[in-house]
Chains A and B, each alone.
Chain A
Amino acid sequence: MTKAGDWQSYKRVLLPPVKDLHHLDVYRAGGGYEALRAVLSDWKPDEVTEEVKRSGLRGRGGAGFPTGLKWSFMPPVKPDVPRYLCCNADESEPGTFKDRQLMEYNPHLMFEGILIAGYAMSLKACYLYVRGEFANWITLLQDELSKLYDAKLAGSNILGTGFSMDIIMHKGAGAYICGEETSLMESLEGKRAYPRIKPPFPAQSGIWGYPTTINNVETLACAPLIINRGGDWFAGVGAKKHPGPVLYGISGHVNRPGVYEYPTGMLITDLLDIAGGIRGNKKLKALVPGGASVPVLRADMIDGVTMDVESLHEAGSMMGTAGMLFLDEDTDMVAFLRRVARFYHHESCGQCTPCREGTGWMENLITRIDDGEGNLRDLDLLLDLCDQMEGRTVCALADAAAWPVRNTIKRFRGDFERRCRPSAWAVNA
C-alpha cells in the first residue's frame, strides 16, 4: 500500500512549476522570504526548532537523521564563541542529482531555509559548500546571493530586524569524500579532506573547532515550507515516520529519467510507472533505491515496498538520498558492481588502512571476475573483505564501499558464479 495518500493530485512545493523561479524577484512575487520575515519578527529561535521537530523532517543527505533534533544539539549561545551552519551541497553520490536541481531551479528556497535555520540556532554565518563540478550553478548561486545582499535579505540587519547572517560560498575541488560532514569541515579549513574522529561531534567542535551544524540542501529547503504551512502539514505529507515532500532522482533503464517531486512513502512500482517504465518493454532486474552505496534490491523484492526509512529497511535496503537507479533484465550485475567498486576505489581518501587498501583489492577482484578470469573462491574472499572493512574506519565510506559489494554478490550470486572458474582450493578464511 502506498503511504503517499492521494499522490496523483500532489502539488509540487520544492520545485513548483514556476518559470524563472531562480530569480529573486520571481521568487519574492510568489511569497518568497515571507517565512523568513515572519520568523524574524514573530518567532523565538526555540520555537522554530520546535516547529521543525514537530514536522518530523529527516535529513535528506542520506543518513536520515531527524533535523530538529540535530539543531537542538547546538550548545547554548555564548558571547565570543562563534557558531556555524554549513550547507552541504557537495552532492556526488553516484545516482544522485536532486540538490543540483534545487540549486538550479529554486535556489532561494535553499537560501531562505539557510537563514531560517541560522535564526533557529542563533548563529551568524553559514558556509555553503558546493561541489566544484557544479561550475554553472555556482555562478548562478553567486549572482543570486549578491542580489540577496543587495535586497538586505542577507548580511547585516536582515529586513531591519536586527538579525544578521552571512552566507559564504565555498567551491569544492572534486572529491567525493568532502561530502562527508567532518571531511567537509577539514576541506573548508583549507586542510586535506581527511574525515575526523567522532566524538567530538560537529555540534561540539566543528568548523575551526566551534559548534557547527551541517545540513543537506534539500533538508534546509524544507524549512521555509514548514514555517509557511506549519509542522503539522509537513508531518501529514507522505509516510508517518518519514514525512514530507522529497525529490526522487530516477535514473537507469527507464523511459523518462529525471527528478520527480512526490511525498515520501511512494510505492516503488508507482515511481517506476511515473518514470515511464523500463525502456524497450523489458523487465526490471534490480533497483538501487538511494544512491550507489545502499544495498541493491532484486526485482522480486520491491513488491509493496514504499520509499521511506521503515519500509526500505524491512526490504533490506536504505532510503539514502532517494536517487533511484533502475536496472533492466539485460544488465550485467558484475559489470555494474565493477563500476561501483571502481568509484569507491577512486574516491577513498586513503586515511584509514581498511578502506585505502580494501577498496582497491575489491576492484581488482571484481575486474578479474568481469574479465572471466575469476575463481569461485574470489566471491568468498570479496565477502570476507567486506567483513574486514565494515565498521573499522573513521568515516562511513568503507561501509558505503562494502555494502553494494556484499549485497550485490549475495542477491545476484548466480550471475557472479556463472562468470567464475571453479576453484581448486577453498578460500582461506
Chain B
Amino acid sequence: MPKVTIDGEEYAFEGQPGLLQFCLDHGIELPHFCYHPSMSVPANCRQCLVDVGAPVRDRKTGEFQLDENGEKVVRYFPKLQTSCSHVISDGQVVHTARTSEKVERAQRDTMEFLLINHPLDCPICDQAGHCPLQIQAYKYGPEGSRFEFRKVHKPKKVKLGPNVVLDAERCINCTRCVRFTDEISRSGQLTIIERGVKNYPITPPGVSFDEPYSMNVIDLCPVGALTSADFRFQARIWEMASTPSITTTNAKGSNCFLWVRDNLVMRITPRPNPDVNEFWIPDEDRLTYRWFNENRPCGPAALNKSGACSWDEAIQETAEILRNTGKETLFLASARATVEDNWTLMQLAGAVGGQVAGYIPHIEPGHGDGWLRTDDRTPNSQGCERLGLRPVDMEVWGARLNAGEVQGLYVLEDDPVTAGLCSAQALENVQVILHYYNTTNQTLPAANVALPAATVAETIGTYVNEAGRAQRVVPAKVIKGVNRTLMMQMGLSRADQHGTPFDRWHNESHYVDCKPSWEIIPQIARNLDMEIAAQSPKKIMQHISASIPAFAGATYKAMGLSGVTLPPIEIEVAG
C-alpha cells in the first residue's frame, strides 16, 4: 500500500487523497480557511502551506539515492505547496508547521496579511468564540501588528437578502459563499465584485439573496462577514448551549444543533451528517426557532374546570371523558409526534377498546425540491406508517365529524381545524382532548381538555425520515415540571446553560409548563385502571424494535447521534 511520511510519521493511504483532508482525517491540524470538503478547491487563502518533497531516484538504476548516513535523499518542491490542492502520491515527505520552521513562518506571514485589513472587532462580532480566523490567529498568527496605516473600508451591514447581512470589512475573500451558490445550491446569487483588496462578495444588481438555502453561507463563512439577520447581536456563543437535534418542518430529518440560552432557542444551525443532510439545512428549518419560544402554553386547561387547572385535574378529566366516550372516541395519531408518543397513544386507544384511526397528512405539493425539502411537512409520517398507522381519510372523517357522528376526539400533537379535517363549529358538541405545542393551534378553543405537549426541543424520542432513517432527539431546554428521564438526557455543553440568577438575561418565565406525551398518556391510562408497561422512551423503543419488524435495530444505543437506517417497508400510497 502506498505510504506518505508526514512530520516523520508514516501513513498508508488509498487512492488519491488531498493532503489537507488526509491530515485532518488523521488528527493533524493544518490551519485553513477557503477549503471546504464539499466544494471545489480554489487554494486562495494560502494558509495551509506545507513543505512537500519526494525521495530522489537514480535515473539509471531506479534505486533511491542515499546520503552518507544511509538516509533517502529528499528533493523538496521549490515553493511551499497549498495542502488543500496537493494530491498525495507514494513516498512523498510532508512537513507541517510542527516540524518545519519555514512552514511555520509562512503560515504566520499569511495570517499577518489576513489580519491587516480585518477590522478586529471581535468584541462585538457574532462569530467571536467560534471564529476560525480568531482561533487560528491565536495559534498560528504573529504577535502584534506591524501595520501602521488606515485599514481598507468597505460596506457594512449590507442586507444581501431577507436572512443574510454582510459586513464586507470582515470578509477575507475565501469565496466559500460564492462557491456555495455556484456549486451546492446552484442559485448563482452571489459573486465577488471590485478588485484586489477592495474585493467583497455581493449579489448581482437587482438580485436579492433569497434562495431557500441562503443561510448556509453564514455557517460557511470563516469570519463574521455573513451574519443572520435574525440572530445578529442577539447572543454570544459562550452563553449558549448547543444540543444535537433534528429539524421537523419536513420529512427529511436534517440534522441540526439547537442553540439555547436561558431556555430560549436562539438559533438553529446544521449538524453535519453525510447520510442525511451533509453540511446544510434549509432556511425554513432555521427560522422555526421562534416556534419553540413564542406562543407557548402555560399549563393544562379543562373546560369544565373553567380554564387553567392542575395536571392532575386535567388528567382525571381526560380519563373521565374517555370513560364516557369509550371506543366511540376518534383517536388521531400525529406525524409530528415521536414514534414513542404515537405508540403510547395506540396503547391508550386499545385500553378503552378503540383503535387509532390514523394520522392527519400534511402534504404540500410542490414544496419539495429533491434535496433537503420535501412535500411532506411533517417529520415522522414514515414512523407512523411503520407503526401500522395510515393517513386518515380526510373526507370520510371530516364528513362524520361535521355531521356530529363522533362523540369524542383525541388529538395527539396536531391541529385538525387548521389541517381542514373539520370546522371549529363541528367540534362544539364533541368531547375534544388535545395535545398541543403552541397557543396558535386553531383546535384549542374547541378543546375540552388542553394538554401542553413538549416539542422536539424538550422531549426524548425517535423520528423516522422519508428514507427510513430512525433518528432520536434529546432535550435542548428544560420544562417546568420535574421529569427525571428528561433531566438525565439533557445534552449539557454548559453547566449553567439554563442561566443562573447572576446572568442578567436569566428569566424564570422561559420555563414552559408542558409535558411529553409519553409521560401524559400513561398517567391517563393509570386513571383508567390500565397500566402501560414501558414508560421511558428508551424502554418503549426497546419494546418497539423487538416487537415490530419495521423497527428492527432501532434501539437508542444503535441510533446514537446520527441515526440508523431501518429495513425498507412497503407503504401504500395514500389516495
Chain A residues with CB under 8 Å of chain B are 175, 192, 194, 197, 345-354, 356-361, 364, 368, 381, 387-388, 391-394, 427-428
Q: Is the CB of A350 within 8 A of B85?
A: no
30 contacts between A and B (CB under 8 A): A175-B195, A194-B42, A197-B41, A346-B195, A346-B196, A347-B195, A348-B197, A349-B196, A350-B173, A350-B195, A350-B196, A350-B197, A351-B173, A353-B45, A353-B114, A353-B173, A356-B197, A357-B117, A358-B113, A359-B197, A360-B152, A360-B196, A361-B116, A361-B147, A387-B109, A391-B78, A391-B80, A392-B49, A392-B79, A394-B43
Determine the residue in chain B with the shortest Cβ distance to A360. B197
Q: Which 5 A-B pairs have the closest CB atoms?
A: A357-B113, A350-B199, A388-B109, A348-B196, A391-B79
Per a CB cutoff under 8 Å, which of A350, A356, A381 touches B146? A381
Determine the residue in chain A with the shortest Cβ distance to B79. A391
Per a CB cutoff under 8 Å, which of B43, B192, B197 touches A192? B192
Instruction: Provide the residues of chain B in CB contact with A393, threshold 8 Å.
Output: 46
Q: Is the CB of A351 within 8 A of B80?
A: no
Q: Is the CB of B196 within 8 A of A359?
A: yes
Cβ distance B403 to chain A, nearest Cβ, rounded Å:
65
Interface check B198, CB cutoff 8 A: yes
Cβ distance B222 to chain A, nearest Cβ, rounded Å:
12
Per a CB cutoff under 8 Å, which of B41, B109, B112, B173 touches A356? B173
Residue interface mask B44-71, A partner, CB < 8 A = 1: 1111010000000000000000000000
Whether A357 touches B116, Cβ cut-off 8 Å, given contacts A388-B109, A392-B110, is: yes
Instruction: Provide the residues of chain A in CB contact with B109, threshold 8 Å.
Output: 354, 387-388, 392
Interface check B172, CB cutoff 8 A: yes
Determine the residue in chain A with the shortest Cβ distance to B111. A353
Inter-chain CA distance A360–B113, complex, in Å, is 10
Whether A192 touches B146, Cβ cut-off 8 Å, given contacts A197-B43, A353-B110, A357-B117, is: no
Cβ distance B193 to chain A, nearest Cβ, rounded Å:
9
Interface residues on B, range: 35 or more
Determine the residue in chain A with the shortest Cβ distance to B152. A360
Cβ distance A162 to chain B, nearest Cβ, rounded Å:
41
Q: Is the CB of B195 within 8 A of A349?
A: yes
Q: Is the CB of A348 within 8 A of B195?
A: yes
Interface check B191, CB cutoff 8 A: yes
Inter-chain CA distance A387–B114, complex, in Å, is 16
Whether A361 touches B79, Cβ cut-off 8 Å, given contacts A352-B46, A356-B199, is: no
Main secondary structure of the interface of B (DSSP, over half): loop
Inter-chain CA distance A357–B149, complex, in Å, is 12
Whether A192 touches B191, Cβ cut-off 8 Å, given contacts A351-B42, A353-B114, A354-B46, is: yes
Cβ distance B54 to chain A, nearest Cβ, rounded Å:
15
Instruction: Provide the residues of chain A in CB contact with B78, threshold 8 Å.
Output: 391
Interface check B15, CB cutoff 8 A: no
Instruction: Provide the residues of chain A in CB contact with B149, threshold 8 Å.
Output: 361, 364, 368
Q: Is the CB of B144 within 8 A of A428?
A: yes
Inter-chain CA distance A356–B174, complex, in Å, is 12
Interface check B265, CB cutoff 8 A: no
Instruction: Provide the residues of chain B in CB contact with A361, threshold 8 Å.
Output: 113, 116, 147, 149
Instruction: Provide the residues of chain A in CB contact with B421, threshold 8 Å.
Output: none
Residue interface mask B184-196, A partner, CB < 8 A = 1: 0000000110111
Inter-chain CA distance A359–B149, complex, in Å, is 13
Per a CB cutoff under 8 Å, which of B46, B144, B147, B192 touches A353? B46
Further 13 A-B residue pairs, CB within 8 A, beyond A352-B46, A356-B199, A388-B110:
A192-B191, A348-B196, A350-B192, A350-B197, A350-B199, A353-B46, A353-B114, A353-B172, A354-B109, A356-B173, A356-B197, A358-B113, A392-B79
Q: Is the CB of B113 within 8 A of A354?
A: yes
Determine the residue in chain A with the shortest Cβ distance to B85. A197
Instruction: Provide the residues of chain A in CB contact with B46, threshold 8 Å.
Output: 352-354, 392-393
Cβ distance A372 to chain B, nearest Cβ, rounded Å:
16
Determine the residue in chain A with the shortest Cβ distance to B44. A351
Inter-chain CA distance A352–B147, complex, in Å, is 19
Interface check B319, CB cutoff 8 A: no
Determine the residue in chain A with the shortest Cβ distance to B200. A350
Inter-chain CA distance A347–B198, complex, in Å, is 11
Inter-chain CA distance A429–B191, complex, in Å, is 37
Q: Is the CB of A394 within 8 A of B144?
A: no
Interface check B564, CB cutoff 8 A: no
Instruction: Provide the residues of chain A in CB contact with B80, threshold 8 Å.
Output: 391-392
